Amino acid sequence: MMRKTIIAFGLLLTTVLAPAWAFQAEAAPPARAELNAAAVPAKAKWIIYVNIEQAMKNPAAGKLLADFLRMRPQAQKGVAGLKAMGLKFPQDFHDVLLVGRNVGTNHGVAVLHARISQRHLETLFHARHSAITVTQLAGGVNKIVDKKGHTIYEASPAPGTFVVSRSQSPLQYELRVLAGKSAGMAAGNPLLAGAHPGGILFLADTDMANLANHQGPRHGPPWMKSVTSGWMAAWVTKGRLTVSSRVNLKSADTAAKIVQIAQTWQGVLDLGATNTHAKPRQRFIAGIADRLNVGAIGKAIQIHWSMPLKKLLAGPKPQPPATQ
C-alpha cells in the first residue's frame, strides 16, 4: 500500500505540467468534497482517498498539516511552487482520489478536484515549455513527455476536475467511468465497507496477496504476507481524530497471534511509562497506545483508535522540576 501511495501521489504532482490550453475557462469550485462511489471503477482493486477540504475544517488538523510541511523541505518546495502559480494550499484543493484496477506502477489513476484554471498554470507552463513535449490526443487527453522521457497522460473532463495517469488505458477508462459510460462501484461494494461520511482519509485494497510481486509485503514484517485485503479510514468529529481499520488474513490463527503481539506491545509501553524514570515522551506514546483497541474476529483483525486532536498536538507534558 505504501509503495502505491508514493507512486500515485507522484502522479498527482505531475498535473502541474499540464499544458495551459487544456483548461479553457476559470475552474468553478467543485461540489463539496466526498468520496463518490460512482467515480470508482466497478472492478477497482485499490482505493486511496484524501479529503483535504474536510480535514481543513478543523483548526487542529490545519496545524497538524502545517507541522508536517514544516518538517519536510521537499513538501515546502512544492507549496512554494504552487504559490508561484497563484495557488494556495490547502485552500484551493478539495480532494483527491487515487484508484486502480490492477496492482503495479503504471495502473494508478489520480482524480483531483481543485480550484485551478488556465491563469494559474500559465507561469509554470511557459517556464517549462522547452522541457516537455505535449501531444493532444482524442477525447481531450494530452500526452506529456519530459526531457528524460517520462510520460504521463492528463485530461480535464469538467471545470475543477483533473485526471492523470502514467498509462493511457487506465486514464481513458476512468474518463468513461466519470462520464457514466462505464460502470462505477456500487455503494454496497465490500471495498467501500470502511468509508466513513465526512472522512478525511480512506484506503482500501482487495488484492494485497499479490503485492509481494510488486515489492509490497515482502519488504515488511512476515505477517504482512498473510494479509489478503483490508481498509483503513480516518475522520474528525467534534475535535476528535478517529482511525478505524479492518484487515483480513489467510487464517484465524495468524489473526489471533497478531492481536496478541499488539496487546503485548501495549503492555510493554504501559510498563515503561509507569517507571519513575520514564520521560514525558515515553508516557505520551504510552498514552496514545492505550487508546488503541485491537481484536480478532475469525480471520479478520479489527482496529479502532480515537483521541482529541488538541491533546495529540499538545505533545508530551514538560518534565516537572526535581524536588530536593
What's the pLDDT band for 246 if we cut at 50, 70, 90? very high
Residue 2 has pLDDT above 60, yes or no: no
Check residues 24 and 34 and name the one with the higher pLDDT.
Answer: 34
**What does the CA dihedral 243, 249, 251, 253 come to, rounded to 10 degrees?**
-30
Cell representation of residue 269: 509501553
Distances (CA, A) of 302 to 63, 66, 190, 228: 29, 31, 15, 14
User: Global pTM?
Assistant: 0.79
Residue 115 has pLDDT above 50, yes or no: yes
Cross-strand partners of 96: 50, 112
**What does the CA dihedral 9, 12, 14, 16 come to, rounded to 10 degrees?**
-130
- Number of Cβ within 10 Å of residue 50's Cβ equals 24
Cell representation of residue 219: 519488504
